[in-house]
Amino acid sequence: MLVKFTLSRSVHQAFVRLSSGKKEIIFVAGQESNNQYKVEADLGQELPASDIFNIELIIGDSIITKPIRWNLGEIEVKIGNAPAEATLKVSRGPKPEIKHMFRQPDKRPPQFVSLLFTALTAAPFLILLILWGKIGVNIGKFSAIAIPFHLGFGWILGLFTLFWLKLDMFTTCAWLIPVGGFTFFSGHKLLSHMARSKKPEKSDK
């Protein structure tokens, strides 16, 4: 069966429906060029038996509330001499086992490449330690009062990482409010402690 038709504009859906009593089969029309559509089907494989079918064109689009149904007429289908029950035969019993084929794992890179990548990953941290040594960062004055602030700050960075990976905005904000408040108060306490520790040095001078 070959059905070709032309519409005034392109539509979202176009079908050709064959029906006979309670039996029906619907073919999707493919768009060829411009506004031309075509349905090409082998009725000998699609229909179970010979019969007279009513052929109908169905047009659907987003700008219309109900699809357009156009009755084209009737078509008589004769399917060879094979009995109808041959195409309706249903096989019983267990179905064949489905075996899944998993993709083979990729070959691992050489050990030299892995070590080089590890060194490049650790390079920024090593450069940071070298620069701290040249600048003269005084780590000896690190006090236990600074631990809560650094923990809170690290918690915030970890929360941002989780937000990037899997959390949504509302869950992130719900956790960020108490964590941010804790970090703010611990940072304020740390700055107050540093200011008090510098006052005696200024008075001695």
- pLDDT tens profile 87-146: 334 445 677 777 777 777 778 888 888 888 888 888 888 888 888 778 776 666 667 788
Contact call for residues 156 and 183 (beta carbons, < 8 A): yes
Predicted local distance difference test score (pLDDT) of residue 199: 65
Q: What are phi and psi for residue 60, nearest 5 degrees?
A: -130, 145
Q: What is the pLDDT of residues 17-55, one digit of tens each?
A: 888 877 788 888 888 877 888 888 777 777 767 778 888
Q: Is residue 114 part of a domain?
A: no
Q: Can you give the chain as a three-state secondary structure string?
A: CEEEEECCCCCCEEEEEEEECCEEEEEECEECCCCEEEEECCHHHHCCCCEEEEEEEEEECCCCCCCEEEEEEEEEECCCCCCHHHCCCCCCCCCCCCCCCCCCCCCCCCHHHHHHHHHHHHHHHHHHHHHHHHHCCCHHHCCHHHHHHHHHHHHHHHHHHHHHHCCCHHHHHHHHHHHHHHHHHHHHHHHHHHHHHHHHHHHHC
Predicted local distance difference test score (pLDDT) of residue 93: 63
Total domains, the chain: 2
For residues 191 and 146, give the distance between their C-alpha atoms in angstroms, rounded to a whole number.
Answer: 9
Q: What angle do CA 148, 153, 159 make, to 5 degrees?
A: 125
Q: Is residue 19 part of a domain?
A: yes
Predicted local distance difference test score (pLDDT) of residue 82: 47
Q: Is residue 74 part of a domain?
A: yes
CATH number for the domain harbouring residue 56: 2.60.40
Tokens of 151: 């923990």
Q: Is residue 28 part of a domain?
A: yes
Tokens of 179: 């964590």
Token pair 């999707």: residue: 28
Predicted local distance difference test score (pLDDT) of residue 184: 92
Q: Is residue 62 part of a domain?
A: yes
Q: Is residue 96 part of a domain?
A: no
Domain end (from 79, 104, 126): 79
Longest Cα pair distance anywhere in the chain, in angstroms? 116
Most confident residue range from 9-23, 68-82, 155-169, 187-201: 155-169
Predicted local distance difference test score (pLDDT) of residue 125: 81
For residues 195 and 22, give the distance between their C-alpha atoms in angstroms, rounded to a whole number.
Answer: 90
Domain end (from 79, 100, 118): 79
Q: Is residue 99 part of a domain?
A: no
Domain end (from 58, 79, 100): 79
Is a pLDDT exceeding 60 seen at residue 204? Answer: no
Residues spanned by the domain of 164: 139-199
Mean pLDDT (whole number) for 194-201: 70
Predicted local distance difference test score (pLDDT) of residue 138: 63
Predicted local distance difference test score (pLDDT) of residue 182: 92
Q: Is residue 15 part of a domain?
A: yes
Q: What is the pLDDT of residues 140-192, one digit of tens each?
A: 666 778 888 889 888 988 888 888 888 888 888 899 899 989 989 988 888 88
